[in-house]
Amino acid sequence: MNAATANLRRRASTTLHYTVLVAVALLCAFPLLWTLSAAIGTEGNVFAFPSSLLPQRVSLANFIEVFRVVDLGRYFFNSIWITFWTVVWTVLVCSLAAYPLARLHFRGRRLVFAVILATLMLPTEINFLVNFITTTHLRLVNTYAGVILPTLAGAIGIFIMKNAFEEIPQDLLDAARVDGASELHIFFRIMLPLALPQIGALVILTTVTSWNNFLWPSVVLTKSNLMPLAVGILELSGTFGSSTRVIAAGAILTVAPALIVFFFAQRFFMRGMEGAIK
Amino acid sequence: MNLPLLRSIARLARWPLMLLAASLLLACDSAAAPDKVHVEFWTMSLKPKFTPYFDTLLQKYAVAHPDVALEWVDVPWDVMQTKLTAAIVARSAPALVQLNVPWAYDYALVGALQPIDDLMGEDRARYTDGAIADLTFNGKLYGFPHYNSVNVMAYNTALFRKAGITQVPTTREEQLAVAKQIRARTGQYGFSPALGKIAGVFLEEGLPLIEHDRAVFNSPAHVALVAKLAAAYKAGGLLKDKLFSEDNYPASIDAYKSGRMAMLEAPPSALTRVRDDAPDVYAVTDVAPVPIGGRGIAAGGWLFHFAMPRDTTGRVAIEAARFAKFLTDDQNQLAFAKLAGAFPTSKKAAADPHFQNLPMDAGAYGKAMAIGAKSMNIVRTLYVAGVPGFERLNKRLQDAVEAAIIGRKDIQTALDDAVAFWNTKLGK
Amino acid sequence: MMADSARLGVPDPGNAPGPAGAIDRRMRATGGARPRAKQARQAWFFLAPALLLLLVFTFWPVLWGSILAFTEYKIITPPTWVGLQNFEDLLDDPVFFISIKNSLLYLVIVPVIQLGAIVLAVLVNNSLPGIKLFRAAFYMPVVTSVSVVGIMWGWMYNEQGLINAVLQWLHVINEPIGWLSDDRLALFSLMLVTLWRGLGWYMVLYLAALQSIPKDVEEAAVLDGANRWQRFWRVTIPMIMPTILLCTVLSTLSAMKVLEEVLIMTKGGPVSSTYTGLYYAYDQGIRAFNFPRALAASMVVSVFCIGIAWLNFRFLRPRHR
């Protein structure tokens, strides 16, 4: 096989590679791209193809309309607030639970871990009814604590952190213990800093799920000045609702922040997941 | 527990804890003052269009009733049942909630709502007889009537002309024939009947579901109606999107706006959306009454009202009732109906010149309001009441008719099976 | 990484009470820098917040729900014990059978989603120019809120929606297809949405696994003269087997428990063709106020979940470990 054919083959394979990538990327992004073009376009039939993908006149009028009809700034702030605290507390609660499961010896360790993993199998999707009653008794309806608390202790989060802690060399722990460091000191000064990549992954994961969480906040929050974006956006549809283009603009505004976060945090996320999956 | 552990936890957790506490406080700041009666009321999908209307109204009420703290919560249609059920189970339901009749009936049946005959008192006479009758379940009144809708039929004259249709249909049968013709000549859809509420479709035609405690919807008349629907469906005359969903309104208005459907059965307010979103279609739109077969029945009655959950008691109940009457009094109903393009349920508001002297030549919307206003007093919400476990029976009927219309099952067999199922349950 | 979970339920000899363990513990308690009893106390201290939250918001609802499933409970009156009545009612309801059948049918997306995700992960596991953009594109659906997914895919699947418009433009079809309105298609249309939402997520997990394969393993295979195809089957797949197990279990469970797609797009219709086990439960609880039957249905779903997860472990667990 001479160099020229080898080169040709390599180029052909790269082309094929890209063709597949572009095709799948288009399929994945198509609904969002179309929504975007519907949102920035102003006239013509929204559902015509391919003309609707390339709007002739571009304007931000639909976005302005969204801000005019719903209190988007408020929802935006609520989403950020809820997401921020969910992330902080999830990381804390999950890593605290993961540490003894990974590194401490006590009776019932395996059982506890098995029980936590078993929550993945339970149909927790319809727990929200009983949870709403509990939340009412705890007087947490219409509070952010009510939104946040039930989501904090997740099996996936504990699992990721447990794997992270298991990677850390035993020598470091032994040395610290010999120096008389408390377990809490070890946890915050050694374990957490060394697990930063996985914490990063957990942060991004939690950010995205919390940002998009829909069913539970819509049940536990009744006041619209507390609602996050994913719930508030529903005000745009409905019987007295807005036009397709305005709803599209609202959809884009809801999705964009999570997308931007993911795009810029991608590398961090990948490194963390790598640590978690090993 | 060892002290250093606790201390370092306290140190580390201090700032997030403080902020969490602050956020809890922030969330609670709107709690009402203790000496006021707190009346929370929910409306269904009225934000953002009616925000200014309610804001002024609440301000006005607050001035007149300084001892009442009102709280307005608007709940999107999609999540209303989820939220209300959860709230009722947790005993944290609002003092008043806006519902439609079938949902209210379901809630009333399990005892989640309370009758309001005593609270209503003599004011009952202010509301139209149809509205009061709609809200009377088992002899008791279950709500303060608010606004109603009446459907009209908007049609696209350009599509009619293209299909060579010169006569506007006046019966369902004619309408289904027109739908087929439109499909054949123009390639567009005819219309979208509300098949997701199949019980209502039968009742509009004057065809009963139950007689003498037996299900009777497998009669030749019922079968013939389903057969005509199935034929129109097969010929492509009916819009398929959301045809069988409980709410086919958004899909049908979209289809009509884009000129892909010739006839739209909807409340007049739909025409304002056509006017705003698709002026070209609006320009060729004309309006006629909905062609239905029953005697003295107006199509598309869909009453909204304020119901009172069972845990609303004492002073709260009294104040809530007073406020509900204010919300639904002549003046406020009139203002709301004008704004919404809906119809009032108060006799005085309905008698207002706004509804009685509507010009027929004021564009499609004006004409729609005029046509709708004519049947405002006889309009009823058509549904089946007084049947325990109706939810499940209705599901069976719905599935049978759907399967028959799309040709999965023989019509007679499908209806016979459903009737048999109903009768085993009704016999119990 | 899956070693622990793969051995779920197997007692740990190190922790089993017995003479050896007891002696071991006593020796450490007297001689070690950190006595075991104290370590155990601290362990529970660390676990406390998570366990408390799980207890209140996960186990309590499941437990209370399991009890309610054997009662009759109509919101206003206290529940009364009726034994297996609710389960018998389920057997009497054809819609429930459709729901379970659909939930099981939904499992066909598991191999599709996993194979697709592995292939995508292999394709983006390099540093070709623009590869980050592709990864982000594949991940876009994952970060899209359910409410927005419902709105967007409604537009896609409309009779006059985008998918039909594209297919008609390409002259693949003449008549628009009723993606959600045809009872034979609707469930598969929902599956496509699930696939769309899940592909990127599993791709990221596989990509992470691929990146943690040591370079020398790959190089050794190249030196042995293995071609790309052989390397994929003989090196890559065995190396990421634990991840495949994890992802398969996760996606099996979420397929079995699919609810959101149904809720936002079809509400079970047309002709009950898109009822799934959990949607049935949701519908019974929220719309028919029949909580006991809803909870009974969800118990049946969990039994299926546990059974299927067990099968997954049984057949996919790496044997050499």
Q: Are C297 and C89 in contact (CB under 8 A)?
A: no
Q: Could you give the CA distance from residue A91 to residue B399 in angstroms, rounded to a whole number?
A: 47
Tell me the chain B residues in contact with residue C266 when contact means C-beta distances shorter than 8 Å. 245
Tell me the chain B residues in contact with residue A85 when contact means C-beta distances shorter than 8 Å. 16, 19-20, 23
A69 touching chain B per CB within 8 A? yes
Q: Could you give the CA distance from residue C226 to residue C31 in angstroms, rounded to a whole number?
A: 55
- Give the residue from chain C lying closest to B78, CA to CA: C264
pTM as predicted: 0.82
Residue-wise pLDDT tens digits, B205-251? 888 898 888 899 999 999 999 999 999 999 999 998 888 887 788 78
DSSP β-bridge partners for residue B40: B71
Long-range contacts of A178-184 (CB under 8 A, 24+ apart): A178/C33, A182/B2, A182/B4, A182/B5, A182/B8, A183/A99, A183/A104, A183/B5, A183/C39, A183/C42, A183/C46, A184/B4, A184/B5, A184/B8, A184/B9
The per-type count for chain A, helices as H runs and strands as E runs, is 14, 0
Do C46 and A131 count as a contact with CB atoms less than 8 A apart?
A: no
Predicted pLDDT of residue C103:
94
Predicted pLDDT of residue C318:
57
- Give the residue from chain C lying closest to B398, CA to CA: C271
Q: Which of C38, C41, C72, C75 to mutate to test the interface with B (most CBs of B within 10 A)?
A: C75
Tell me the chain B residues in contact with residue A52 when contact means C-beta distances shorter than 8 Å. none
Q: Which of B79, B109, B110, B421 to mutate to test the interface with C (most CBs of C within 10 A)?
A: B110
* pLDDT averaged over every residue in chain C: 82
Q: Are C286 and B82 in contact (CB under 8 A)?
A: yes
Residue-wise pLDDT tens digits, A103-149? 988 888 999 999 998 888 777 777 877 888 888 888 888 899 999 99
Do B395 and C45 count as a contact with CB atoms less than 8 A apart?
A: no
Residue-wise pLDDT tens digits, A198-256? 888 888 888 888 988 888 898 888 777 888 988 888 777 655 566 778 888 988 988 88
Residue-wise pLDDT tens digits, B140-169? 999 999 999 888 899 999 999 999 999 999
**Minimal C-alpha gap between C272 and chain B (Å):** 7
**Minimal C-alpha gap between A136 and chain B (Å):** 6
Residue-wise pLDDT tens digits, C4-58? 333 333 334 334 344 444 444 444 433 344 567 788 888 999 999 999 999 999 9
* Higher local confidence (pLDDT), A43 or A76: A76
- Give the residue from chain C lying closest to B311, CA to CA: C76
Do B74 and A235 count as a contact with CB atoms less than 8 A apart?
A: yes
Predicted pLDDT of residue B7:
53
Do B403 and C160 count as a contact with CB atoms less than 8 A apart?
A: no
**Minimal C-alpha gap between A162 and chain B (Å):** 20
Predicted pLDDT of residue C115:
93
Do A235 and B82 count as a contact with CB atoms less than 8 A apart?
A: no
Q: Which of A222, A225, A243 to mutate to test the interface with B (most CBs of B within 10 A)?
A: A222
Q: Which of C143, C204, C261 to mutate to test the interface with A (most CBs of A within 10 A)?
A: C143
Do A89 and B16 count as a contact with CB atoms less than 8 A apart?
A: yes
Neighbours of chain B (3+ CB pairs under 8 A): A, C
- The 3-state DSSP composition of chain B as helix, strand, coil percent (nearest 5) reads 55, 15, 35
Q: In angstroms, what CA-CA distances link B33 with B61, B66, B67, B210, C111?
A: 17, 11, 10, 52, 59
Tell me the chain C residues in contact with residue A14 when contact means C-beta distances shorter than 8 Å. 128
Q: Could you give the CA distance from residue C319 to residue C321 in angstroms, rounded to a whole number?
A: 6
A127 touching chain B per CB within 8 A? no
**Minimal C-alpha gap between A118 and chain B (Å):** 26
**Minimal C-alpha gap between C183 and chain A (Å):** 23
Tokens matching residue C158: 């409309």
